[in-house]
Amino acid sequence: MKRCLIYIDDINIQNSIDLLEVARQVYGDDTYETIGVNFNCNSKASMGAFDKIVQVMHPEIKIYDPVAITEVMAELQIKNSFNSILIPATPFGRILAPRLAMRLKTGLVADVTAISRKKDKLEVIRPAFSGRIMAGITCMSDGPLMMSIRQGVFNYEGDKSKPTEIINYEPKNFKDGHINCLYKKEKEQTYDIRESDVLVSGGGGVIRSFHYLKQLADKLDGQVSASRKIVDKGLASRNIQVGQSGKTVSPKLYIALGINGAMQHVEGLKQVENIISVNINSSAPICSLSDIVVEGDAMTFIEKLVEKIEETS
């Protein structure tokens, strides 16, 4: 039986549960077992989804210390010879995964967005060149198959009522990375574009009128999001960026204003039910993905549509 170890990042546990879908795609009809591992936290939120959970408890381990966490993960791997290790590509996961891969002398594929099989050979897909092309990658090492997986791309809909076995684990070796957290300042919580049903999104074509987007978003009970061009200009925070270097979103309605829709942007749109794009160039890439293409000025579109909604309400 194949065994797959999944790192549970307690910043967003659902993220790690969704990696069960990656395991399912990797192993298909083979029998396999999933083992979650978490550090100094209880396993309540992940009960039922994994077959087993290894609960690592150690008073000296700091959950933000890459050295300490890598050492324990390596110890687990050496003892158990898992066939694969999956790590969510959270900020910490993207530090942990390469460090662990090097420690285990095994290949790692970063920021995986799809799994494909070609004649029984597994091909792991990831974006490259800031999302402008996709690369299919194969691992050649004897060690476990290791991947970090892009957040928000896979979605686990399988069994969540498994009789999860909890294994308390006290690591033998402890290595201190000599790092201390001095303080943490929470950012002002605005909104999470990943949770919005309606996104009104602006790109390079609305640099001058980006702040008007909120008017339309308000009328549709939605939120404003942006492409990289807007964020790079400093007009919006990276928190609301859609695309390869931003977030992957799945709203019911996406209104793209002045967005060209290069692959690295479209990469951030997953299962969007309805797309309306407004662009002076109706052959922009985003237009071929749209249900309605409005050829024209985004500002005029906002004004007229807001007016129309106000008139009729």
Partner 1 sequence: MKLICLVKYVPDVDNFKYDYENNVLIRENVRLLLNPDDACAVAFALRVKARHPETLIEVVTMAPTTVKPHMEDLLRIGIDRGTIISDRLYAGSDTYATSIVLARYISSQIYNIILTGTHAIDGDTAHIPSQIGACLNLNQMSNIVRIDEEQFSETSAIFDVETENAVVTYEMALPSILSITRESKYKLPYVSRKDMERNVSEAINIVTNKDLAFEPEEVGLKGSLTKVISTYTKEFDKKNRIVVKADDEGIDLVYKYLKDKGFI
Residues between 133 and 152 that touch partner 1 (CB under 8 A): 133-141
Q: List the interface residues with partner 1, window 181-240 (CB under 8 A).
A: 181-187, 189, 198, 219-220, 238-239
Told to check if 119 binds partner 1 by CB under 8 A, we report no
Strand partners, 231: none
Q: Six-digit token pair at 182? A: 């001095």
Task: Single out the segment in contact with partner 1 by CB under 8 A; choices: 41-49, 152-160, 164-172, 292-300.
Answer: 292-300
Among the listed residues 123, 174, 214, 270, the single contact to partner 1 using CB under 8 A: 123
Residue number with CB closer to partner 1 (156 or 285): 285
Residue number with CB closer to partner 1 (53 or 76): 76
Cβ contacts of 234-243, under 8 Å, gap ≥ 24:
235/207, 235/210, 235/211, 236/202, 236/210, 237/190, 239/187, 239/190, 239/193, 240/190, 240/193, 242/193, 242/199, 242/201, 242/268, 242/269, 243/131, 243/267, 243/268
Among the listed residues 103, 162, 214, 270, the single contact to partner 1 using CB under 8 A: 103
State the Cα–Cα distance between residues 11 and 241, nearest whole angstrom: 20
Among the listed residues 33, 166, 253, 270, the single contact to partner 1 using CB under 8 A: 253
Site string for partner 1, 52-91 (x = CB under 8 A): ------------xxxx--x--------------------x
Residue number with CB closer to partner 1 (164 or 196): 196
- Considering CB under 8 A, how many residues would be counted as binding partner 1? 85
Task: Single out the segment in contact with partner 1 by CB under 8 A; choices: 37-45, 95-103, 152-160, 161-169.
Answer: 95-103
Torsion of CA 91, 96, 98, 103, to 10 degrees: 170
Told to check if 28 binds partner 1 by CB under 8 A, we report no
Told to check if 128 binds partner 1 by CB under 8 A, we report yes
Residue 13 φ then ψ, to 5°: -70, -35
Q: Which amino acid is at 226?
A: A
**Which residue carries 């010879």 as its tokens?**
81
- DSSP designation for 247: B
Residue number with CB closer to partner 1 (19 or 267): 267
Instruction: Identify whether the C-beta of residue 153 lies closer than 8 Å to the C-beta of residue 127.
Output: no
